[in-house]
Amino acid sequence: MSERFDGRRRQLMLAGAALTAGSLPLMARAADAVKVGLIVPMSGPFASTGRQIEAAVKLYQQKFGDSAGGRKVEILLKDDGGVSPDVTKRLAQELVARDKAQVLMGFGLTPLALAAAPIATQAKVPMIVTAAATSIIPQRSPYIVRTGFTLAQVTSPLASWAAKNGIKSVVTFVSDYGPGLDAEKVFVKTFGEAGGKVLESVRVPLRNPDYAPFLQRVKDARPEALFVFVPSGEGAAVLKQFTERGLGAAGIRLICTGDVLDDDLMAGIGAAARDVVSSHHYSAVHPSAANKEYVEAIARSNKGMRANFHSVGAYDGMHLLYESLKKTGGDSDGEKLLGAMKGMSWESVRGPVTIDAATRDIVQTVYMRKAELRGAEFYNVEFDKVERVRDPGV
Ligand code: PHB
């Protein structure tokens, strides 16, 4: 009884002191953190995506502090395991209803982002999609903003490059779900319009794939090149089978999106990556001072981990959140934050980026890269670029 009374008296005294100082609203606001529900796969087949995102978010807060616009930013990290939309949806629901999260962020794969979209709409909270990359995602909620990329965005420059560089026949090879179907569609259209011939379009299962029989089909079709998209985490297995099945030896050239030659996997892929041409929005050896510092900082605090594009999507997601909180003066109202995010531009470690005000999708440079040895390891070295690429829509 006396403890409760003491507690209440202390509260009143504190409130009185604050009122006298004229600072109660400020004190109350500072104490009231903006909670960010960060939902990513920290376990399961796509755990590398979660690790990369967590590392980037931690680095951002280490570097820029844990508050923005006078509000503390508190990250509530949840592992959704990466494979079940129901789990992601339940976590999003719990975060907004029970934990009072005012922002949702992360989303490692398309089906998981789509599952959470209605929660963002109902709760009126911004949902920053840092990884999932199917074109349609931002159309599923007016509260979605994307800081990663889209498969359509990075595939189209590669298809043009292939046609311009003497490749006449291609087989496409994609994981059979949203981003893969987008990549296939854009490749077939762009390459076809440029005069190239797509001999066959092979789709492989997302879950527990055995790439060998599908690659045998590719070998039998005898294309000049094989275009591949598989999500981050899967590339090493495809390259291993590509080599073991003798596709390279049969003179079939591999071209792919940067997801396949994911920086996080390059050490494991090794020499199988040599000379492979890919297109993407980020490479760990993107030549800028800011990127060099970023890659070194991620490696330093994560046992030598090489930063990949998922980490950069999350680092920029944090930038977008911090800058919008600064613009709203710490107001975390969903509509106000969204208003601040729309149209924002900044210099990312990947190069210049803008959030398109109408689509809430990212506009950015797409780079053509070739895998080469730098020191003891292979890296995706940029040799050409297309600037201000929008998602072409699929
Ligand atoms: C997706 O599911 O949208 C996704 C995941 C990983 C990638 C690309 C796309 O590397």
Q: How far apart are CA 153 and CA 186, in angstroms?
A: 9
- The average confidence (pLDDT) of the chain is 93
State mean pLDDT over 227-238. 96
Ligand 1 center–CA 244 separation, angstroms: 25
DSSP string, 67-102: EETTEEEEEEEEE-TTT-HHHHHHHHHHHHHTS--S
pLDDT digits (tens, 9 = 90+) for 288-329: 999 999 999 999 999 999 999 999 999 999 999 999 999 999
Is residue 40 within 6 Å of ligand 1 at its C-beta?
no
Question: What CA–CA distances, in Å, run from 373 to 71, 267, 285, 290, 296?
Answer: 45, 11, 11, 22, 18
Ligand 1 center–CA 282 separation, angstroms: 14
> Which residue out of 259, 279, 282, 308 has the highest number of ligand 1 atoms within 8 Å of its CB and is therefore the one to mutate?
259
Determine which residue's CA is closest to atom 6 belonging to ligand 1: 231
Residue 9 has pLDDT above 70, yes or no: no
- State residue 208's pLDDT score: 84
Is residue 132 within 6 Å of ligand 1 at its C-beta?
yes
Ligand 1 center–CA 172 separation, angstroms: 17
Is residue 109 within 6 Å of ligand 1 at its C-beta?
yes
- State residue 31's pLDDT score: 54
- Global pTM? 0.92
Ligand 1 center–CA 49 separation, angstroms: 9
H-state helical runs in the chain: 2-21, 24-31, 47-64, 85-97, 110-123, 151-164, 178-193, 211-221, 235-244, 266-269, 289-301, 309-327, 334-341
pLDDT digits (tens, 9 = 90+) for 22-43: 444 444 444 599 999 999 999 9
Least confident of 14-28, 32-46, 61-75, 126-140: 14-28
- Residue 207's pLDDT band, with cuts at 50, 70 and 90, is confident
pLDDT digits (tens, 9 = 90+) for 155-168: 999 999 999 999 99
Is residue 261 within 6 Å of ligand 1 at its C-beta?
no
- State residue 21's pLDDT score: 43
Is residue 179 within 6 Å of ligand 1 at its C-beta?
yes
Ligand 1 center–CA 63 separation, angstroms: 27
Q: Which of 327, 314, 370, 250 is nearest to 71 (CA)?
A: 327
DSSP string, 315-373: HHHHHHHHHHHHHTTT---HHHHHHHHTT-EEEETTEEEEE-TTT--EEEEEEEEEEEE
Q: How far apart are CA 373 and CA 269, in angstroms?
A: 12
Q: Which domains does the chain have, with CATH numbers?
A: 34-149+288-360 (3.40.50.2300), 152-280+367-389 (3.40.50.2300)
> Which residue out of 151, 206, 361, 394 has the highest number of ligand 1 atoms within 8 Å of its CB and is therefore the one to mutate?
151
Question: Which atom of ligand 1 is closest in space to residue 132's alpha carbon?
Answer: 3
Q: How far apart are CA 57 and CA 36, in angstroms?
A: 11
Q: How far apart are CA 259 and CA 238, in angstroms?
A: 12
Residue 14 has pLDDT above 60, yes or no: no
> Which residue out of 40, 46, 88, 110 has the highest number of ligand 1 atoms within 8 Å of its CB and is therefore the one to mutate?
110
